[in-house]
Structure 1
Amino acid sequence: MNRIAAIALIVAGLFPSQALALSTQELLNACQSKKGSDDNLFCLGYVNGVADAMGRLLGPDAKDRYCPTQPTTYGAFQQAFVNWALRHPEKWSAIAFNGVNQALRATWPCP
């Protein structure tokens, strides 16, 4: 597991009720905070933790997977989420995990 995903899982474990209640809008706010800030690093870890979980836990036939055509950076996953969330304010009340999932699938759809 990569370091950022591990950090996100540790942070989520320290604050389980907050992590479970995190909305897409709250995650978007964190992602838009100053680069290198605690909130921005939390966002980076969270988004990449979801991406890592989706990539490792979902089988090749799963409908909820994403399919990048080349290696993707941590920053690209974060930016994909931000771009998607800004285009879908109607989804801001959804659980952040679902927002990241939808963003990755929309950005890198499978054939």
Structure 2
Amino acid sequence: MTSANRLRCATLVFLAAATAPAEALEATTGDLYKACVSASDVGAAYCLGFVTGVWFNMSCTAEGTVTSDVLSQTFKKWAMVHPEKWRDRAGVGVVKAIKSTWSCQ
């Protein structure tokens, strides 16, 4: 899947998540990590959309452009090192991963 197609899919997944029922938004950090590392295009798009959505709702300082792929890699690396956090809600895990890399308020 090309970067442009991933971004399109991520945008669609993010928009779908914004209107999803509450049960669908209760994914854990472990659930999100599994989606991020899956070979599925849907899993990859869900991951990109989720982490990008969290990023855009945070106030962080970064040098240069932070792409969805960079955000996804950041989350995957953080989650791999912190399996004890896999029961946390996915949004909490993404925030922690982002804050471990960039200066955020």
CA distance in 1, matches of 2:13, 2:92: 16
Instruction: Pick the aligned partner of 1:53 from 38, 57, 64.
Output: 57
- Using the TM superposition, give the Cα deviation of residue 3 of structure 1 relative to its aligned residue in structure 2, in angstroms: 5.5
Counterpart of 2:27? 22
Q: Is the 8 A contact 2:36 2:44 kept in 1?
A: yes
Query: What letter matches 1:82 in structure 2?
Result: K
Matched-pair identity in %: 36
- Using the TM superposition, give the Cα deviation of residue 91 of structure 1 relative to its aligned residue in structure 2, in angstroms: 0.5
Counterpart of 1:43? 47
TM-score by length of 2: 0.80
Query: How many residues are aligned here?
Result: 98
CA distance in 2, matches of 1:33, 1:14: 24
For structure 1, list consecutive stretches of 5 or more residues without a partner in the other structure: 56-65
CA distance in 2, matches of 1:4, 1:98: 23
Counterpart of 2:84? 90
Q: Is the 8 A contact 1:8 1:49 kept in 2?
A: no
TM-score by length of 1: 0.76
Give the 3 Å change call, closer, same or farther, for CA 53–81 of structure 1 in structure 2: same
Calculate the aligned-residue CA RMSD, in Å. Answer: 2.1
Q: Is the 8 A contact 1:24 1:95 kept in 2?
A: yes
- Using the TM superposition, give the Cα deviation of residue 19 of structure 1 relative to its aligned residue in structure 2, in angstroms: 3.1
Q: Deviations over 1:39-62 (max 9, x none)?
A: 11111111101101114xxxxxxx
